[in-house]
Structure 1
Amino acid sequence: MVSKRRALRTAVVGVLGAASLALAGTAMAATPATPVAHSAAPAAAQQAAAKAAITAKPSVSTVNAWQLFRVTGQTTGLKAGSKVTLQQKQHNQWVSLPASVNTSRTGSYSLGVKLGLKGKNDLRIVSGSTASPVFNVTVR
């Protein structure tokens, strides 16, 4: 009786093992020859880059020349500790100013700024290819 049970158990395990191999062979036959992981990785990177964003809010809208003010904001989709830099539009080109700071581990930042160019200044915060919406500060 014991040997019949052992034989039955062995037969069931053998059938299950054969079924597993058959299913694995079917799955492998259905898998396309070109790897999908390679085409999915750039798409995931593009989605992550598309989700990156920066907000920016100046503490004032009007300042005297060389008066200190702050720009604060939040980043999303960027690595903690990423460098953010203030840019100013000069002659229809964005110029990076010597005002930058690393984001906190939560993605926030606070940047002290002094501007000397009188008039309306178009400004933005950038990190790599990600930029905040343009904001304005008028210097008297």
Structure 2
Amino acid sequence: MNRAYRLAAAGVLSAALVAGTAAAASAAPAAPTAHAVAAKAPQQATLTAKASTGSVKAWQEFRISGTSTGLKAGTKVTVQQKQGAKWVSLPASVNTGKTGAYSVRVKLGIKGVNQLRIAGGGVVSPVVSVTVR
């Protein structure tokens, strides 16, 4: 019996014993199914982001709103701006709510198309663009 099969069988037997199903514990599985492997994978965290407008005057306030999934409620999310080849964190951040939603106020002074994203909990959102005129 190869090692992967033994480990899979031991995992299923342990799970069955914890669940209290002796009948399931005595039946040896053929191999772990794709569904069983997918069920064990942790949920990947994500962030969404949407600007309240696509164009603003310099230093005019707008909002970036979105939701987080797979992050703990209260996680701090920060607005980042692409400056050259680097992503720079702006002094605009907020904590996510109980449902994972957030909304942060932003003011930009660099004229032209600004690429922005939200970062928090080791995750970044897709890029949103806002033009400053």
The residue that corresponds to 1:60 in the other structure is 53
User: Alignment partner of 1:126: what SS?
Assistant: strand
C-alpha distance in 1 between matches for 2:117 and 2:128: 6
The residue that corresponds to 1:123 in the other structure is 116
Give the superposition deviation at 1:129.
1.8
C-alpha distance in 2 between matches for 1:47 and 1:139: 40
* 1:83 paired to 2:72: no
Give the superposition deviation at 1:47.
2.9
Letter in 2 for 1:47: P
Give the superposition deviation at 1:91.
1.2
Matches within 5 A, 1:85-124: 85-124=78-117
Letter in 2 for 1:99: A
Percent identity between the two aligned chains: 61
C-alpha distance in 1 between matches for 2:75 and 2:62: 22
C-alpha distance in 2 between matches for 1:64 and 1:121: 12
Matches within 5 A, 1:21-60: 47-48=42-43, 51-60=44-53
C-alpha distance in 2 between matches for 1:120 and 1:110: 21
* 1:74 paired to 2:90: no
Runs in 1 of length 4+ with deviation above 4 angstroms? none
User: Alignment partner of 2:42: what SS?
Assistant: helix
Letter in 1 for 2:123: T
Q: TM-score, normalised by structure 2?
A: 0.68
Structure 2 contact 71–121 (Cα < 8 Å) conserved: no
Higher Rg of the two aligned structures: 1
| Structure 1 residues without counterparts, runs of 5 or longer | 1-26, 28-43
What is the alpha-carbon root mean square deviation over aligned residues? 1.7
More helix by share: 1
C-alpha distance in 1 between matches for 2:127 and 2:50: 10
Letter in 1 for 2:52: S
C-alpha distance in 2 between matches for 1:137 and 1:112: 13
| Structure 2 residues without counterparts, runs of 5 or longer | 1-24, 26-39
